[in-house]
Structure 1
């Protein structure tokens, strides 16, 4: 078999794995496909006559491609609330939810490009630091420090599980499910009768009230936010269970929630950029699987 044929065969064997890595690095199916295609173009142009490990070499090329894409994205800026109401098909929503997990993406989006590449490759796919160092153009020791810093940002805010964590998670998931469905009865079942909703101006329409009181008023408002709720997932918010609305995995709204007796008693809706940056977010353990 000629060297080009061997490279082509190895690329096809590695394609699914490369796409899985790119998907977690980039959070977009289209961008992941573009990154895999660019990896093939660069590899085929360079040739692989003296390469000992074709799979590792392809992964290194992919890492560099994704790093370039992440750096370019960072220069373009943040997502806005106007992106929350862009309609998506049920198939698109399912694919987006299953591909990586919006909660994990929401945390990864807060990492710098080098941190994200290092964390994804090492913590999610077990790539050795010697290989990551080549991609980042750093020493293995420096690459390890970058990954450690990223890991702390991804999981560092998690609180030791208290006995009521699973119950609170169930309540929040029920609230999000009812929000997506616009189900008034289900919302009333999970909201305390005297629930208070507070929101900053960025999260509200121009005529919106900064504070609402009472389950019916909060439920009526929430029913109108089904489009936003599609992008919401349970996460750690400043060490407590809360929720994040993250279209394409990019944080747009954070919900701080107080829960007592199996019902939500307070909702704090945060959308102002400065407040969002100050919130400490972390993914659930179940969101960290590759």
Structure 2
């Protein structure tokens, strides 16, 4: 597992431009740690707030501002991850990581309607695949941080230990445990073109309300989850089984007959976007095993769909 994002190293000029050049790196890190772009933006903003709260002399004494910002952002993420279980207990229905559009489709709408800052865009690779992010949710906060920093962002275990305040040996063990979770959940990779073809066939079958075709495209034990956050209608519990999912989708289409289904890239993989009246109402990501859909995640919470406002 590798990403094009590389940790800041060496001594940086503590000027505004040099400090702000770390922003994209921090956004990428925080999104992978939290599964939420909105929360990632808040974490990075808080890290910069703490940087500028120091005196000029304190800032000048820091050899690697990028490393300092990474450490602070990681600590903030750790605090959020540790409190996430309590916060999720009050969350209505299923919680699914916030979906990301393809870079070309990244639009206004997240922050007061302003055009998205390129520095806020997350590098789309296998480490933001929705299935991958869901597995990360099953990890302990320490496992998740050690794994992301070492396996995704290529920090050495000595660097990880310094950031998280544990020994290199402990961080190595945490990352190893996280890898076992990833391997246990991994589905065999399919060529991108084949994944896109399966999603396209699924779209056509859904539009045609062809229950038999939908069943044929779904694994018999497939699972579908929807995240409405209590703000919009969504299945409160997982829908399990190919026939159950197919009938549920056709029933939903019957209730909203004027919806449009579009093929889009979701977290770097083929997915679907559902619109009604030109407004994005659902973003769907898929895990495909063989030639069938094994898992489907539908994010309907409008607070998680801001980057998709006009996609």
TM-score by length of 1: 0.60
For 1:149 and 1:224, the matched residues in 2 are separated by: 45
For 2:245 and 2:36, the matched residues in 1 are separated by: 37
Gaps of 5+ in 1: 250-290
Residue from 33, 44, 47 that aligns with 1:39: 47
Q: Cα deviations across residues 172-231 of structure 1 (Å, max 9, x unaligned)?
A: 53455347xx411676545449x979999x99799xx99896999677347459699733
Q: Which residue of 1 aligns with 2:170?
A: 142
C-alpha distance 13-130 of structure 1, shift in aligned 2 (>3 A) = same
C-alpha distance 145-241 of structure 1, shift in aligned 2 (>3 A) = farther
Pick the structure with more helix per residue: 1
Alignment of 1:106-117 (within 5 A): 106-117=134-145
C-alpha distance 186-248 of structure 1, shift in aligned 2 (>3 A) = closer
- SS of equivalent to 1:111: coil
Residue from 65, 69, 73 that aligns with 1:58: 69
Gaps of 5+ in 2: 1-12, 111-120, 227-233, 256-273, 276-280, 302-311
Q: Which residue of 2 aligns with 1:183?
A: 207
- SS of equivalent to 2:294: strand
Alignment of 1:2-17 (within 5 A): 6-17=14-25
Shift in Å, 1:15:
1.1
Q: Cα deviations across residues 223-246 of structure 1 (Å, max 9, x unaligned)?
A: 459699733311569xx9611326
C-alpha distance 31-184 of structure 1, shift in aligned 2 (>3 A) = same
Contact residue 235 and residue 243 of structure 1 kept, 8 A: yes
Q: Cα deviations across residues 73-129 of structure 1 (Å, max 9, x unaligned)?
A: 222125543779xxxx99579x89969342222121222211111121111111121
Contact residue 135 and residue 185 of structure 2 kept, 8 A: no
- SS of equivalent to 2:296: strand
Stretch moving more, 217-226 or 72-81:
217-226
For 1:196 and 1:60, the matched residues in 2 are separated by: 45
Shift in Å, 1:248:
8.7
Alignment of 1:124-143 (within 5 A): 124-143=152-171
C-alpha distance 141-242 of structure 1, shift in aligned 2 (>3 A) = same
Contact residue 197 and residue 218 of structure 1 kept, 8 A: no
Q: Cα deviations across residues 123-153 of structure 1 (Å, max 9, x unaligned)?
A: 1111121222123221011011111111221
For 1:27 and 1:248, the matched residues in 2 are separated by: 15
TM-score by length of 2: 0.56
